[in-house]
Amino acid sequence: MTGINLTEAQAKAALKSFGNSDTYTNLQQVGTNCGKCGGYFNGRGGISKSKGSWTCPSCMSKSHNRTEKMVTALVDKSDNQSRINAAKEVKAMSDMESVAQPYIDAGLGAPFAHAIARDPAVEGSVMDLWEASWWKQYEVDDILIVSVLNGVLIEDDAKWLNTVRSDHEDLVRACIDGTCTTDWARALLGSGFLGDSDGVTSCLAGGVPSIVARIRRKKIKVDSKIVPPPLSAPKKLKKKTKKKPVQVINYGGMSQSKLSQFCRDLGLQTSGSKNVIRNRLENCKNVLGNHSPLPKGNRILTQLKRIASEVKLKSYGTMKAETLRRKLLTAGRKLGVDMQE
């Protein structure tokens, strides 16, 4: 029952599917033996769907009462498990805050302190990032900064990717989502593909780099001795389509009450002044834009929870992966972000 929230109707359906509930048809006045207790009755009986025999009113009543008790027990157990999960999530967040606070008090930025508290294994790379200067031109929710804080990339690789992302944004994302390693990316650009965004995209889509290099020999000069092998699991190329214009929401024209209601509709925190709420919405918009498209497939719940934490989404700890993903997609679109499926 862990993580499952059952309504009364769902509990009844579950009992029925497992054969723990019975229903009766053809209710009418009869005089016959009951198929359950064996006793003779002369009254309003019904035909049991599970047994196909007449059932007396007493047995039908007992069956109904038993089913109702089981439904109530299932719903109560589900609600209790949800409360336990929510409490665990709150405790985990509280523990993380208590671990992070000494670092924050010492002068470390909160996102950096929280990253170390969440996963001590990333301490070295997070501190390397804190001491570096290249990232300070960006917001802390930048895709490369977040990848270091989440332990996806080490600081040195993120720093290098930052130097090439103006021409190779898809290569940067491929290194972050695991399509290729940074070693492969360095080898590809180092062999002569640096600056050739179309050629790199072809290699990411499964093209053999040495063949792509020959096709594009008039545009680039590649050293065949150091060109890397093709990717074993390339990215699927999407057909290029014209993007529909994204509606930009003017938060400056909203009153505080309307801003609060908008946050409530999105499932975000609603507290704070007008400027605080507006900044929260802008942060949510930027974070979701940087993470679009959202991760798909199995074992994505941890990644989605990190995104939900960044945008200050309420009650995300008890949501299933697909529910949380849909919630983030909806929030992004309402904010005017071009959220790709």
Give the residue-averaged pLDDT of 80-105: 72
Range in 28-32, 180-184, 326-330, 335-339 with the lowest mean pLDDT: 28-32
Tokens of 33: 């033996």
Query: pLDDT digit string (tens) for 254-292?
Result: 788 888 888 888 888 888 888 888 888 888 888 888 887
Q: In whole angstroms, what is the distance from residue 177 CA to residue 51 CA?
A: 55
Interhelix angle 301-310/321-334, rounded to 10 degrees, is 40
The full set of domain ranges for the chain reads 8-90, 165-240, 251-334
Q: How far is CA 264 from CA 259, 275, 318, 322, in A?
A: 9, 16, 18, 20
Range in 19-23, 234-238, 253-257, 262-266 with the lowest mean pLDDT: 19-23
Tokens of 73: 């027990």
Tokens of 48: 């049991």
Angle, CA of 324, 327 and 329, to the nearest 5°: 110
pLDDT band at 171 (very low <50, low <70, confident <90, very high): very high
What is the rounded average pLDDT for all residues in the chain? 78
Q: In whole angstroms, what is the distance from residue 211 CA to residue 37 CA?
A: 80
Query: pLDDT digit string (tens) for 110-137?
Result: 899 988 988 889 999 999 999 999 998 8
Residue 15 has pLDDT above 50, yes or no: no
Phi, psi of 316 (to 5 degrees): -75, -20
Residue 245 has pLDDT above 50, yes or no: no
For 118, other C-beta atoms within 10 Å of its C-beta total 19
